[in-house]
Amino acid sequence: MLELLLCSLLTILPDYLFRRYRQGKRLGHEITFFSVWFELRWGITACLMLTVSLITVIFYYHPSTSSATLYFRTVPLISEAVGRVSEVHVDGISGAVKKGDVIFKLDSSKQEAALETARRKIVEVDAAMVAAQSDIIKAEGQIQQAKADYQQASDELNVKSELQRRNPGIVPQRDIEKLQVLLDGRQGALDAATATKQSAMTRLSALLPAEKASAEAAVAEAQVDLNKTSIRAGVDGRVEQFGLRVGDIVSPVMRPAGILIPEGAGRQALSAGFGQIEAHVIKVGMVAEATCISKPWTIIPMVVTNVQDYIAAGQFRGGEQLLDAQQVLRPGTILAFLEPIYQGGLDGVTPGSSCVVNAYTSNHDLIAAKETSAFKGFLLHAVDAVGLVHAMLLRIQALLLPVKTLVLSGH
């Protein structure tokens, strides 16, 4: 309507003034309700054409959307395993929490028993290491005894062998053979004692430390499982829709305990969906304005910080059926992210609030370029100037938004 009124000032009004004061035709006489079209046909036709052109230029180069929302990501409060709630540390259904605060705890008797078992295993390995040290000492004593027995048998064999050499026949050959067999046996006993010591040392230096490391890893694993029974806040924020009570069953798949909203979520950027036809117009750095339902009568200056290069309506998941384009009921939008130009611009706007956004094209750099002709510069000036109409429309929307919401919507 505002575009039509502006265009009529340039078309219908001059046409009427020409016919009234130049041709002498009077309103109510020559110009009547039934002769308006014939008398003002040129002005009306030009007004309609100019209005359509103006609306096209405004909505193309200065896009607007009412599909704008302060989206925010929520964190579900769930445990990593199924369990029964034993403690709840949040009073009511909502409350502020800090990072690391325990929100609720599950029954941990099984995990505590597993942790105690793992700790006992470490004590058992420590005792085995003490026993291994005793085995080494025992093996050293056995080695000393085996060495002494071996030396005794060796000396006796040498004496009798020397006597046999000096005076053959004085020592029976059978005794020498028995002493040789005894010496070999004593050598085997010495080797067995040495091997026993080596085995005890290997057990003490390699096997038992590995068992202790495994036991310590089991303790760490049991401690992790025990820690999982305490569900903590990963970030500063606020717990909402928290109706958990002692005795409830919590499952990581079917039964989350509530929702954690991070602090500051939904207060940094506004997500707006513009029509696909404006894909080449929406650019990073464009100046924009927004007005939100939760903060009426307020215009928030913003700037486009990012434009998503994909349209959500075109995504699909691989499956057993072919994709049919008719399944897309309506075309998707170009998602743009906007942030306030001034610090604190979104203060007072409730996260999740619906907003109306206008973005404005600026051709200042192109107009200032030397290669831009005068005619093209004039057209670009006209394109930038008509953005004022859209800014006026946004302010009218902001003014009438509470009336439309509270009165005309049936409240």
Per-residue pLDDT of 167-213, as tens digits, reads 776 666 676 667 677 767 777 777 787 887 788 788 778 888 888 88
Q: What is the mean pLDDT of residues 145-163?
A: 72
Q: How far apart are CA 167 and CA 159, in angstroms?
A: 12
Check whether 304 has a pLDDT greater than 90.
yes
Residue 223 scores a pLDDT above 70: yes
pLDDT attached to residue 360: 92
Confidence of residue 307 (pLDDT cuts 50, 70, 90): very high
pLDDT on residue 302: 93
243, 258 in Cβ contact below 8 A? yes
Residue 326 has phi, psi (to 5 degrees) of: -70, -10
pLDDT > 70 fraction of the chain, expressed in percent and rounded: 90
Structure tokens at 405: 């919401």
pLDDT given at position 84: 87
Query: Average pLDDT in the 151-155 region?
Result: 74
Instruction: Report how far residue 265's alpha carbon sits from residue 269's, in angstroms, rounded to the nearest whole number.
Output: 9
pLDDT at 324: 78
Highest average pLDDT, of 19-33, 257-271, 335-349, 390-404, comes from: 335-349
Token pair listed for 57: 């230029």
Higher pLDDT, 147 or 344: 344
Q: Would you state the pLDDT for residue 271?
A: 92
In sequence order, the 6+-apart residues with CB closer than 8 A to the CB of 264 are: none
DSSP 223-263: HHHHHTTEEE-SSSEEEES----TT-EEBTTTB--EEEEET
DSSP state, 19?
I
Closest CA to 316 of 327, 301, 330: 327
What was the pLDDT predicted at 339?
93
Mean pLDDT of 220-239: 88
**Selection from 304, 295, 270 nearest residue 62 by Cα:** 304
pLDDT at 411 over 60: no
User: By CB neighbour count within 10 A (0-12 exposed, 13-18 middle, 19+ buried), where does 98 fall?
Assistant: exposed
Average pLDDT over residues 248-260: 79
Whether 162 shows a pLDDT value over 70: the answer reads no
The pLDDT, as a whole number, for residue 181 is: 72
CA dihedral 201→202→204→208, nearest 10 degrees, is -170
pTM higher than 0.75 = no
Residue 221: pLDDT over 80:
yes
Q: Which residue has the higher pLDDT, 176 or 243?
A: 243
